[in-house]
Structure 1
């Protein structure tokens, strides 16, 4: 059975990816929630950041962000980027589009010194079917329903399944019982919480109960409100990019599992 099928049985929606690996690379994984600021360390920095270059890679071609300590002004990320005193890359107000891997390189006399220092950035994002904005809350009324999506945007070296298994990455929904119900999605790596996002579902009616149903092909968390109120469906997703140009790939490819309310 393919990696994607194994993930399907866990109720995850996966975008599979394949990348060509590179040797001599120092890897690090950073997990961040959308809307937050992040600092990516450059583990191979020399004494002077004037030798430092930062590149960004995702399913498309590599983008040069900083070269020899100078920020490129012709990139979409220009306004959110800055170079720290320790040559780290600082990014303000992260959005889900920033996931991917970033490489820090050192140049002396325009010749690269040592291996790349690679940082894999994973972005955790929660959204609602009732809102297209980046708001962290939504309101549900009697007879209405809403679906919450917890999405982890990642970039896999070999495949999404291999990444999840090797790094032991998992997503969890954690709910708190109050009138303005708060749902917190957490991402863990090797059983340690790396990042979390809280989303509030407000209701004009008092909440009655919460029901969790787990089936072989899907995981459902159903929020039941007062009489005549439809349920809230909570879904988990792990998404990875697929590099364009591979014969076995599409841009992007998505494998989706149908979810049935009970």
Structure 2
């Protein structure tokens, strides 16, 4: 029996700008349940909202007052609000809110048609199937949507179109569509997206999470990343029992007051989720969260697959082989695939290799030493990207240490030059000071000696500067 969690209904994207024109004076807008939408009042040059009235037209032509003279009057004032620009705000819209709204002030008025996109489940699907319905509620009520140039498209969470032999679509109208899925255990906690397309653009989208009794949630993670595995209803506020995680056949129990217990590479958080700080390939396996006492009710079962990229340099540095490895819990499913992207050099890829519980695909590059670039391996399930593993090449001459070396040598040379200059200046000042002493013969003798020593010092300084410059030039040549 397949059940569906309405809590899985979530907003993926929403466009609240003009989505199309129903008539010359009707603005058409789209909303999703449990969100908020603002309907603009199209009357120009409004001086005060105290003169504004909002009315809502029912499906049989009945008119309901929403705002009168700038004050919200109903029918549900707790969800309605009049903004400073006289727009009407509707919080947590429901299907019955999809109506024609009119903003008026005296003889002037403007109208907005509100359409709400919804997704539900069929509680009694055919045996072995999951059946989802996506529709605009106006299909059931106020407006006929056949002439709006819209249609509904189903996709995975990453917007990849759903296709395959186990999927079937029934589109009875442009604004109503069914997705029928041949059920698998691994459809547990999967998300399916319904997109409303108008003029080849996504106007609104909503997703739904399916729950399969005794199902297994599939999770994909890149090696080196952190990961948190949820314990399902055990994290709900009403749960007060004790629980345990079964990891690879080994159970670890944790009490009702979590103490951030540590079990090897795993940490249990306060919400009973299992945290892996750094995923490794051996972490692939089945994980099960359940009560540790009583009937041992199972809350969630997760199947973890890991993705890694392993580099290997060939003899003489001529070839670089990158091997993308998906390690599966058991045998890798036939709907899994590996793809490479990001290589700008001449390269070739191997075919997909399925070995035991691993899936491999190699990328061979012509040289091991190359300029820095990022190459990515992706694992796909039925065409949808589930996880990415990036590999970045590093050119040693572009690392920060090598880039800093020329600058450091230049600073050393500049410092040496400054030292020589200051030394010369000091000697010159000392000689000038001695020349002012009023001595004749002694002065001449001392001056001759000093001049000779000064000339020798200057010659020595020039040789030292030349040696420093040559050494710096040789170092730069070595770096280059």
- TM-score bucket (shorter structure): 0.5 to 0.7
Is the 2:31–2:204 Cα contact (8 Å) retained in structure 1? yes
Q: Following the alignment from structure 1 to structure 2, what is the Cα–Cα distance between the partners of residues 155 and 65?
A: 23
C-alpha root-mean-square deviation of aligned residues, in Å? 3.2
Q: Shift of the alpha carbon at 1:98?
A: 0.6
Indicate the residue corresponding to 1:58 in structure 2: 58
CA deviation vs aligned residue, 1:147-193 (integer Å, no higher than 9, x gap)? 2111112279x972xx432x311111112498532111111222221
Match of 2:191 in 1: 182
- Alpha-carbon distance change, 78 to 206 in structure 1, aligned in 2, over 3 angstroms: closer
Cα pair distance change 1:68/1:155, threshold 3 Å:
farther
- Aligned twin of 2:129: 145
**CA deviation after TM superposition for structure 1 residue 26, in Å:** 2.2
1:107-118 equivalences under 5 Å are 112-114=106-108, 116-118=109-111
The structure with the larger Rg is: 2
Identify if the C-alpha distance between structure 1 residues 175 and 48 changes in structure 2 by more than 3 Å, giving closer, same or farther. Answer: same
Aligned partners of 1:100 and 1:121 also within 8 Å = yes
Does structure 2 retain, via aligned residues, the 8 Å contact 1:55–1:104? yes
Name segments (4+ residues, structure 1) moved above 4 Å: 176-179, 205-210
* Residue in 1 that maps onto 2:70: 69
Deviation readout 1:16-59 (Å, 9 max, x if unpaired):
xxxxxxx9x62101001111100000010511000100000121
Choose which of 151, 156, 164 in structure 1 pairs with 2:146: 164
How many residue pairs end up in the alignment? 166
Shift of 1:206: 7.0
Change (3 A) 1:34 1:159: closer
Residue of structure 2 equivalent to 1:125: 118
Helix, strand or coil at the partner of 2:137: strand
The whole-number CA distance in structure 2 between the counterparts of 1:209 and 1:94 is 42
8 Å contact kept, 2:50–2:70: yes
Report the secondary structure of 2:78's partner residue: helix
Q: Secondary structure at the match of 2:156?
A: strand
Matches within 5 A, 1:18-37: 26-37=25-36
What is the distance in 2 between the residues matched to 1:105 and 1:150? 34
Q: Contact (CA 8 Å) 1:130, 1:146: kept in 2 or not?
A: no
TM-score by length of 2: 0.32
* Structure 2 residue matching 1:97: 3-state secondary structure: helix
Are 1:197 and 2:206 an aligned pair?
A: yes
State the distance in 1 between where 2:50 and 2:63 align.
21
SS in 1 for 2:116: strand
1:48–1:146 CA distance, 2 compared to 1 (3 A): same
- SS for the counterpart of 2:118 is strand
Residue 164 of structure 1 aligns to a residue in which SS?
Answer: coil
Judge conservation of contact 2:66–2:75 (CA < 8 Å) in 1. Answer: no
Gaps of 5+ in 1: 1-22, 107-111, 132-139, 211-262
Distance in 2 between the 1:80 and 1:151 partners?
A: 23
The Cα shift of 1:96 comes to 0.9
Indicate how the Cα distance of structure 1 residues 155 and 41 shifts in structure 2: closer, same or farther if over 3 A, else same. Answer: farther
d(CA) in 1 for partners of 2:138 and 2:79?
Answer: 20
Q: Point out which structure has higher relative CO (alpha carbons under 8 A, 6+ apart).
A: 1
Report the equivalent of 1:93: 92
Aligned partners of 1:173 and 1:119: how far apart in 2? 27
Deviation at 1:117, TM superposition (A): 0.7
- CA separation of 1:175/1:67 partners in 2, compared to 1, >3 Å: closer, same or farther? same
- State the TM-score, normalizing by the size of structure 1: 0.56
2:103: which partner in 1? 104
In 2, Cα distance between the equivalents of 1:206 and 1:76? 43
1:39/1:91 contact within 8 Å kept? yes
Where does residue 408 of structure 2 map in the other structure? none
Shift of 1:205: 4.3
